[in-house]
Amino acid sequence: MPNPNTFANNPLDRASEKRTDPDWLAAQIKAPSTLIVPFWDLKPMILPPAEKGGAREVGWLRPGALEGLASRKAVTVFLGQEHGEKGDTSFFAVDLDLGRDPEREGPLAGFGKFHDLRAAAMSLPATEAAIMAQAKSMIDWHKRHGFCAVCGAGTEIEEGGYKRQCPSCGAEHFPRTDPVVISLVVSGDKCLMGRGPQWPKGMFSALAGFLEPGETVEEAVAREIMEETAVKVGRVDYQFSQPWPFPSSLMMGCIAELADGASMETKVDGIEIAEARWFAKGDIRAALAGGEVTDENGPFMVSPPLAIAHQLLKVWVGA
């Protein structure tokens, strides 16, 4: 089964073996065929639909179009290559760092808009959303990791953006990905979901939490479910994952079974989870179609298709 998640299925060849060749990278960033996505305030430039109701696209620029928009020290990340019949195309992301709002002044004014990726992802082609997830997480990491975690000195970008090197103590720093487990708990034709205290009333999603050091995916699922709902899970089946570039998570989607003989009674902590409920398969099927559904405990909604929780529910109901 292909991965159904938004931000998955990045089509680029990351060509990691090329990252250690600064001359090759310098030539690629100037090559006429190269495409560069500008980011501003952690938002990619996105073009309006060519026709009303049409799909939006990323505002890829050719080298040269960035003149005056980014400094020589601007964070620049090599995203990878596409291999076509007419040759290879290299893709980069650049953080516009000259302080001016490029939507209002300069050569990009009136050309495209810088959109929050979470809001824009579903209106982009799936492949472009995936590339933007890579670009956003990388630029975000650079912006927050300018100094060495060992000695505090300013660090320098290397390897096409995939390493920061400390010139003072020699430490190497690499982009991080933070694993998060997210799991439905199921028992027969019922599944357990929770609602965060800040969420809209009636909105329920799969239970989630960060993996801790020294923990397996299965252990993290069992611990999170126990902490948040006091429900004991047995077998945990991994389904698929989703890059979640806000800023750098990897959501690891699972379906967990209620432990043999365990109680379905829930007790929420009131901090991470305000409410936990069991839902029937038929009601979930109706809720996946969108909008509010009412069961014996009241109205509820499920996460939108952007969320891995939505995709886990689809697996469970067989949709």
Looking at residue 98, the DSSP 8-state letter turns out to be S
Residue 137 and residue 248 in contact, taking contact as beta carbons nearer than 8 Å: yes
The stretch near Zn ion (CB under 5 A) out of 57-65, 143-151, 174-182, 202-210 is 143-151
124 scored as a contact of Zn ion (CB under 5 A): no
CB of 154 to Zn ion, least distance (A): 9
Report the alpha-carbon distance of residue 91 to residue 37 in Å, rounded: 8
Query: Which residue's CB is nearer to Zn ion, number 29 or number 150?
Result: 150
**Residue 261, class by beta-carbon neighbours within 10 Å (0-12 exposed, 13-18 middle, 19+ buried)?**
exposed
User: For Zn ion, which residue of 151, 226, 264, 271 counts as binding (CB under 5 A)?
Assistant: 151
Report the alpha-carbon distance of residue 108 to residue 105 in Å, rounded: 7
CB of 147 to Zn ion, least distance (A): 8
User: For Zn ion, which residue of 35, 47, 65, 150 counts as binding (CB under 5 A)?
Assistant: 150
The stretch near Zn ion (CB under 5 A) out of 43-51, 71-79, 147-155, 276-284 is 147-155
Report the alpha-carbon distance of residue 147 to residue 128 in Å, rounded: 31
Query: Which residue's CB is nearer to Zn ion, number 24 or number 147?
Result: 147
Query: Which residue's CB is nearer to Zn ion, number 119 or number 169?
Result: 169
Query: Which residue's CB is nearer to Zn ion, number 55 or number 151?
Result: 151
CB of 148 to Zn ion, least distance (A): 3
Match 């398969």 to its residue by tokens.
281
Residues 6+ positions from 7 with CB-CB distance below 8 Å: 121, 129, 130, 133, 242, 243, 244, 245
User: Which amino acid appears at position 251 of this protein?
Assistant: M
CB of 168 to Zn ion, least distance (A): 5
148 scored as a contact of Zn ion (CB under 5 A): yes
Residue 31 and residue 98 in contact, taking contact as beta carbons nearer than 8 Å: no
CB of 152 to Zn ion, least distance (A): 7
CB of 172 to Zn ion, least distance (A): 10
Question: What would the x/- binding string for Zn ion be over residues 213 to 242, using CB under 5 A?
Answer: ------------------------------
CB of 153 to Zn ion, least distance (A): 5
Query: Residue 58: phi, psi to the nearest 5?
Result: -70, 140
Query: Which residue's CB is nearer to Zn ion, number 153 or number 319?
Result: 153
In this structure, the chain runs to a length of 319
Query: Which residue's CB is nearer to Zn ion, number 56 or number 142?
Result: 142
Find residue 44's DSSP bridge partners.
Answer: 39
Angle at 203 between CA 199 and CA 205, to 5 degrees: 95
Query: Which residue's CB is nearer to Zn ion, number 101 or number 172?
Result: 172
Q: How many residues bind Zn ion (CB under 5 A)?
A: 8
User: Which amino acid appears at position 101 of this protein?
Assistant: D
Looking at residue 115, the DSSP 8-state letter turns out to be -
CB atoms within 10 A of CB 263: 11
Question: What would the x/- binding string for Zn ion be over residues 161 to 180, using CB under 5 A?
Answer: -----x-xx-x---------
Query: Which residue's CB is nearer to Zn ion, number 166 or number 302?
Result: 166
Report the alpha-carbon distance of residue 135 to residue 155 in Å, rounded: 20
CB of 174 to Zn ion, least distance (A): 14
Q: Which residues bind Zn ion (CB under 5 A)?
A: 148, 150-151, 153, 166, 168-169, 171
